[in-house]
Amino acid sequence: MVGLALACGGAGEDGTGGESDSEDVPIPDMERCAPISIPTGPGPGAQQLERVATRNEIPGLAQQPTAHGRILGTVFAFDGRLHLGYGDYTDNTGPIAMTAWDPGQQAFVSLGTLPTEEVLWFRSGHGTLYSPAVDPDGHEESGGVYRLDCGQSSWQVMPPIEGAVHVYDVAVQGEAIYATTGSLNGRPALLLESHDHGEHWTEILRRESAPDRFSRFYFVGATEQLLFVSGREHPDPGEPLAWLRRERDRGSLEPLADPPDGALVPIVLRDAMVIAAFSSNPGRGSHQGTYRIEGQAFVPDQPWPAGDGLELVAWAPQLDADGGPERLLVLMRATDGTTGVYRTAALAGDATSWEHVAELEALPDGDQFVSMALLLGDLYLGTRAGSLHALRELDAPAP
């Protein structure tokens, strides 16, 4: 068994957190930024739950003025650090101070400030961590993607995508990255492709909007061959939207029939993909159902651990033995507030293929775990109230 961590050494040249000059943006050293594994022995580790920081001890998060803005809704392990996402793009609580927990220093480090109202997601690939500009903090300003190259000390703001008032998600497939955009009344939603880390974009899918309507592509996900995108036409109740491309090099994006309601989020484990429907963004909303795609149709599926009242909350990758293909960790919350951590090597399997790795007691005052990431053998968990916890030694250390 191994734990997942991405590390590539110390910080390199300082970034500014400002606009990018395409000639000065470094391309990361792929070998230097490769994932590394932390060897572990058989069986569980100490699994000692500790609170790393309260909301008021996390720079940036402490200053958020709304309850939504204080949700530690996404965490991600990259470059040996834990990166934190939060904010509220409905109430415009940006710009967002980019903070990461450095376990080596046992301290939070600053990685610049991003001109967005909320950091929804982190996506990794090509030795780079990406985050979409979900709502640039200028009025109806166009956004692009933000990038943090392995070894750099500050996030870079990449060139804006024309007309992209919202950039909701990023996915990586091969050497390409994809971004989804959302529009204003009468403007299209776009799926775009970049082969230079977000410097330039090519449109590959467009959803037009009527003068009194607007369309948004909210999620994109990829396996080696599959590319999935989902969204919605507004105003509500609107129309759910979904497309799938089955062959990376030769396929075209095909519309899927009768997408279910909700935020349709692709969850990937190697070449397997399922689509989980949430009431809003994961970590902020509740799980409503899961589907696999057969032909052009969504078919209900239940790949998650079985149990009375268990609800999918969050998921994170873990490298397999010897640093090979990844496994998937999921966080499942029970009706009594307890939360289980489960692991599988086969997302296409059934509920019996899961290993129950750890069990977490309910948090006080109604708080809940809503995000997680595995870093250097420890499982970090963010909560709805904005605190950060660590389950030390998820697996036993190597002898």
> What pLDDT, on a 0 to 100 scale, did the predictor assign at position 31?
52
Q: Say what the pLDDT of residue 399 is.
A: 85
Residue 238 pLDDT: 85
DSSP string, 116-138: BSB----EEETTEEEEE-SSBSS
Which residues are CB-contacts of 292 (< 8 A; sequence separation ≥ 6)?
A: 273, 274, 275, 298, 299, 301
User: How far is residue 22's CA from residue 264's CA, in Å, rounded to a whole number?
Assistant: 34
Let me know: does 101 contact 82? Beta carbons within 8 Å.
yes
**Half-sphere exposure of residue 229, counting CA atoms within 13 Å on the CB side?**
28
Place of tokens 């990685």: 111
CA pseudo-torsion sign 59, 74, 164, 234:
negative
Are the C-beta atoms of residues 131 and 145 closer than 8 Å to each other? yes
Q: What is the pLDDT of residue 193?
A: 97
Q: Which contacts qualify for 61-66: CB closer than 8 Å, 24 or more apart?
A: 61/86, 61/99, 61/386, 63/97, 64/88, 64/93, 64/386, 65/91, 65/93, 66/91, 66/93
What is the dihedral sign for C-alpha 151, 157, 162, 163?
positive
Residue 366 CB partners (closer than 8 Å, separation 6+): none
What pLDDT score does 321 carry?
Answer: 61
Question: Which pLDDT score is estimated for 64?
Answer: 97
- CATH code at position 361: 2.130.10.10
Give the C-alpha separation, 181 to 13, whole Å: 31
Compute the distance between CA of residue 24 and CA of residue 229 in angstroms, rounded to an integer: 32
The predicted pLDDT at position 344 comes to 94
pTM: 0.91
Are residues 216 and 168 in contact, defined by beta-carbon separation less than 8 angstroms? Answer: yes
Q: Give the bridge partners for 222, in sequence order.
A: 227
Domain count, the chain: 1
The per-residue pLDDT for 334 is 95
Q: Which domain holds residue 165?
A: 2-397
Instruction: Please give the pLDDT value at position 159.
Output: 92
Residue type, 390: A
Intervals of the chain under pLDDT 70:
1-37, 138-141, 321-324
